[in-house]
Structure 1
Amino acid sequence: MFYKKELQTEFRSCASITADVNEMVASSGVKEGLCVVSVPHTTAALVITSFWDPRGLADLMDEIDRNIPTRVSYKHQDSPYDASGHVKSAMIGSSATLIIHEGKLVLGSSQGLVFVEFDGPRPREFYVQIVEKPLAIEKVNVGTVYMGMHDLTGEVREVVRRSGVRDGICHVSVLHSTAGLVLAPADEASRRDVMEDIERMVPTRVDFKHRETASDAGGHVKTALTGTQLTLPVRGGELALGEGQAVVFAEFDGPRPRSCFVAVYADC
């Protein structure tokens, strides 16, 4: 089932679309499956992040601007906001895949879908495709340390094997707004390098507008940048990864008890 929703954005703004997508899932009648949300624009993006505090969304925009400044030196010369918006959209991403379980989106209590406008104001839209699929779903618990990269490859492989699926798709989703999910090198030294460079891009500090704690505020931004989900192929009953690749849970706050959901479904 395909849905399209229009919205009018403001200049450099964030808009929650979680309620809209929830309504689409409810109207579809799908109890088990996947929901794909896509933004069909080149100067806008889609993130899964905390929706509780608007100041956290302001932090997100500030950090994206700090790493990708709007400037007049771009080769693309439509306008500085348009040119930088293309880069920001490409870096942040414009789609998300969510698990539907028991008729509801599988999201964490503080997670929401946010449409991010890097240019604007403009009339915009987003697309939603809902696919009904029988899923084998398991919850995987993760014990984390502060700013740690935790290899979940073994746990995800075991879920795939227990599912009995020979050929299909494995979708992994983290249900937290200060922890991300990445495909990263399997060796620990490289994972530390990844975490250190994420910290370099978004330093933990006290001047964020969202004022819970420095690591919490920075963690929201880091999670929005890294993402919270991975979709991987299953081939011959095994998770299909490249040599040296690992499914890595990135903890940006912690230490905390954490979890993720792993859903596996077979090809038609």
Structure 2
Amino acid sequence: MHLSVETTARVELVDLTDRISGEISPDANGVCTVFLQHTSAGLLIQENESRLKGDLQNMLESVVPTGAGYGHDEIDNNADSHLRAALLDSSLSIPVVDGKLQLGTWQSVFLVELDGPRTRSVLVTVT
């Protein structure tokens, strides 16, 4: 299954939980793999709370500041997005029981846009 995700900002967290859940057959049992086909974005399981999402964005900027003289900036001027993505996941594995993602009470699945706005491709499989 393929999800196309439109982002609207350079750095943004997009909750994919409902879209992923909607792709899973009601009788599915196994592991849901979520795979992001990009190198300047990432995946994350975290709580969907607005202040925490802002804190995550601030943390990424603090750890990998924009415009810090990275070599790759000479090519695309987006080295910070690639370096930030290296700190996140490009794939996630989530157990599925009776068609439901086995996420914890406060867990949501996010695409973390780091070089937007863009259209991102996310593959979802259950095996």
SS state of the match for residue 223, structure 1? helix
The correspondence of residues 30-179 of structure 1 with structure 2, limited to 5 A, is 138-144=1-7, 145-161=9-25, 164-165=27-28, 167-179=29-41
Deviation at 1:206, TM superposition (A): 4.7
Distance 1:232 1:252 in 2: 23
Distance 1:217 1:186 in 2: 27
The one-letter amino acid of 1:139's match is H
SS state of the match for residue 196, structure 1? helix
Distance 1:206 1:195 in 2: 17
Contact 1:181 1:248 in 2 (8 A): yes
Instruction: Give 4+ residue runs of structure 1 displaced > 3 Å after superposition.
Output: none
Query: Which whole-Å deviations, capped at 9, do the CAs of 1:35-57 have from their partners, x for residues lacking one?
Result: xxxxxxxxxxxxxxxxxxxxxxx
Distance 1:259 1:188 in 2: 24
Query: Could you tell me which of 60, 63, 83 is aligned with 1:221?
Result: 83
**What's the counterpart of residue 244 of structure 1?**
106
Report the identity percentage.
Answer: 32
Q: Which runs of 5+ in 1 are unaligned?
A: 1-137
Q: TM-score scaled by structure 2?
A: 0.92
Q: TM-score scaled by structure 1?
A: 0.45
SS state of the match for residue 105, structure 2? coil
The one-letter amino acid of 1:233's match is P
Distance 1:221 1:188 in 2: 24
**What's the counterpart of residue 235 of structure 1?**
97
**Aligned length in residues:** 125
Query: Could you tell me which of 255, 258, 266 is aligned with 2:117?
Result: 255
Distance 2:24 2:50 in 1: 24
- What is the root-mean-square deviation of aligned Cα atoms in Å? 1.3
Distance 2:49 2:39 in 1: 25
| Larger RCO: 1 or 2 (CA < 8 Å, sep 6+) | 2
The one-letter amino acid of 1:156's match is I
Q: Which runs of 5+ in 2 are unaligned?
A: none
